[in-house]
Structure 1
Amino acid sequence: MSHHHGSSSDHHHHCHTPKIHHGGSSAPHAVQVPNGLYASSGTSTPGVSIAPQEIYNGGYTNAKDVRLRIANGGAGQSGLIRAWADAFIRFMVKVRHVQPFLVAWYLGDTTESLGLLAAGSVDVAVTYNEAAEKQSKDSGAAVALVYGFRDHFLLVGPNSNPAKLNEEDDILVMFNKIVSQGNTDIAVPPDPDVRPPTRFLSRYDKSAANIKESQLFITIGQVPWALVYSQWYHQYPRFPLQALEAASLLSEYTLTDRGTWLSSPPSVTSQLEIFKAGTDDADDPLLNPAHVLLGSNADLMNKDIANAFIMWVVSEQGQHVVGHFKKHGEVLYSKAP
């Protein structure tokens, strides 16, 4: 349970899947999973619990109690949740004179994180879909919502660029080219010595990236996942780092985010090219805003800590962590507007 030191790129080997336990669990700090929530991980049976992916202590090795439970996918994998947790613990101890405590991160995509929040299995969720977040607030599952940081989606694909995407194209034109070249390559397969066929890898897992990519396909009047689903549409339900690695190995286009891209090793990113990157413009379809939600069923004993975290995240200190969080010398995220 000690704090995880070492470079921030050395930890994604143990982030492959959530740590799921069937039939209840004696794992420390495991929380209950609502029935069917992690069904893609084979956990649709009752009595399932999930253990924290990582636990942070802010450098206080004497800290024993988990007083804040956070659910999130990509920013946990990139290390931002760790950076936030450690800085927040130090702030609470030094400025608020709270006894040192632990923060636990539970791995879940946007849909899973909001489900854990509604069940009271976590206190806070950091998620990336405004429609789903609005539902969470409207239903009463979340009592507060703040803008945490801005991530950005990237459309990436093989260096060979079989769909002939052009940087001048807008994102909808690019998606249209992938669809039409994908269909053409199914009808008349290309010579594999010349180029790979045009394929698109979808995480197909209700994640924010999957929802965004689906919105883009629907905007151009396409539903490649419908029966009979398009043969060029590759359904690959995994977490972000693993999905990007697969797209790289298989020479496929995919929608990923900047945090995942910068958290991936050169062996993965060198095989791919960024064809379109999101900006900070509020109207950019590839902007990926991250909001921090406080659950109405947050642990009553620790509600003051969860409340303090929500306020701290948008404070100068919380935003300072965002603005200075780097991978391979590059800042991953933009501060909240």
Structure 2
Amino acid sequence: MKSILKVYALLEVYHGSYNDTTKVGLRIANGGAGQSGLIGAWANSFINYMVERKHHEPFTVEWYLGDTTESIGFLQNKQVDVAVTYNEAAESQVNDAGLLSAWLYGFRDHFYFVGPPSNPAQLGTNDTILLMARKIVQTGNEQAAVPPTTGLSTRFLSRYDKSATNIKESEIFIKIGQVPWAYAYSKWYHQYPRFPLQALEAASLLGEYTLTDRGTWLSSTPDVQSKLTIYKAGTDNETDLLLNPAHVLIAKTENLLDSELGKAFADWVGLYDSQNSDGGQYVVEKFTGNAQTKEPLYTRAPENWKPSPSA
């Protein structure tokens, strides 16, 4: 049987316009935005910016594949200089431990709740995400006891991997008083610990509901998208339960591979320079990755963001 275990590793090395350099200047850990290509777009643009605008010697940027929990672990263990993560509470613990020189809002991603077009749980277009979760639980339990004679049974695919997506779907279930992952596991709750693109492909093949993000959805193949329906999509509203904010954690200065580049990257992430087609926020606004419709995968970070006191 083929293993479904996730593998965390150095996945890509970016050179900007300077392919002849091998000196590593910055190491970034992230999951979904790395798979969609945004981390690479950031890396190449930042390298060119530093060389052409700041007269820095050419360097490379490494991308380490890891979900939110693993990316934070990489940062704590000094394996990376930057972690792009999606859970403010987890990020707060790293900040409180004195391990960060900067904590920034990188961009807005958005969760999508998707599932099979046959819709065995009978989700309604006007249902809230919490009502949808209740219907999944109710019909999942009913159909586990008495399977339908035709069509798909209600099943939910969880990445079950401590990723931001797994944390968010757990939050949704907890808000309705449910813990389907607890012993004995709910029969309709499918634990599938893979990275975003692979998990969404599995849900499409198996006809299961799942939580994914807009960047992953738009980066998926038409074949995957054709087998699923979007039942609820997150917005830019900061109170939306399905908003998926991406934050940029910069390691404390003494843990950075290159302190000058670490500080410069923190400044560049928040830059929006449309005149020179530059800055982290400009890249976010224009980035379409592999989206078939060439829609931007993400939206720019809000201005003047500060971590919430409750974090």
With normalisation by structure 1, the TM-score equals 0.84
Which residue does the alignment assign to 1:4?
A: none
Of 176, 183, 192 in structure 2, the residue corresponding to residue 236 of structure 1 is 192
Unaligned runs of 5+ in 1: 1-15, 18-39, 43-49
Inter-partner Cα distance in structure 2 for 1:284 and 1:112: 25
Deviation for aligned residue 1:142: 2.1
Cα-to-partner distance string for 1:59-102 (whole Å, 9 max, x where unaligned): 21121111100000000000000000010000000111001110
* Contact 1:119–1:297 (Cα < 8 Å) also in 2: no
Q: Does 1:264 align with 2:220?
A: yes
Which residue does the alignment assign to 1:128?
A: 86
Give aligned-pair identity as a percent: 62
Q: Does 1:252 align with 2:203?
A: no
Which residue does the alignment assign to 1:324?
A: 286
Relative distance call for 1:173 and 1:298 in structure 2 (3 A) is farther
Which residue does the alignment assign to 1:111?
A: 69
* Contact 1:157–1:247 (Cα < 8 Å) also in 2: yes
Deviation for aligned residue 1:323: 0.2
Q: Does 1:54 align with 2:12?
A: yes
Bigger CA drift: 293-302 or 56-65?
293-302
Which residue does the alignment assign to 1:223?
A: 179
Amino acid at match of 1:226: A
Deviation for aligned residue 1:51: 4.4
Inter-partner Cα distance in structure 2 for 1:167 and 1:131: 31
Cα-to-partner distance string for 1:283-323 (whole Å, 9 max, x where unaligned): 00000000000112765450110111111011112101000
Which residue does the alignment assign to 1:306?
A: 262
Which residue does the alignment assign to 2:43?
A: 85
Inter-partner Cα distance in structure 2 for 1:111 and 1:297: 22
Amino acid at match of 1:237: P
Say which SS state the counterpart of residue 141 (structure 2) adopts: helix
Amino acid at match of 1:312: W
* Contact 2:81–2:256 (Cα < 8 Å) also in 1: no
Alignment of 1:91-170 (within 5 A): 91-170=49-128
Amino acid at match of 1:162: P
Deviation for aligned residue 1:143: 2.6
* Contact 1:118–1:297 (Cα < 8 Å) also in 2: no
Which residue does the alignment assign to 2:305?
A: none
Relative distance call for 1:178 and 1:66 in structure 2 (3 A) is same
Which residue does the alignment assign to 1:6?
A: none
Q: Does 1:286 align with 2:251?
A: no
Which residue does the alignment assign to 2:141?
A: 183
Inter-partner Cα distance in structure 2 for 1:70 and 1:296: 14
Inter-partner Cα distance in structure 2 for 1:297 and 1:228: 46
* Greater relative CO, 1 or 2 (CA 8 Å, sep 6+): 2
* Contact 1:123–1:298 (Cα < 8 Å) also in 2: no
* Contact 2:253–2:259 (Cα < 8 Å) also in 1: no
Deviation for aligned residue 1:140: 1.6
Which residue does the alignment assign to 1:206?
A: 162
Number of equivalenced pairs: 291
- Which contiguous aligned blocks of 4+ residues in structure 1 show a shift greater than 3 angstroms? 297-301
Unaligned runs of 5+ in 2: 273-278, 303-311
Inter-partner Cα distance in structure 2 for 1:124 and 1:240: 20
* Contact 2:29–2:82 (Cα < 8 Å) also in 1: yes
* Contact 1:158–1:252 (Cα < 8 Å) also in 2: yes
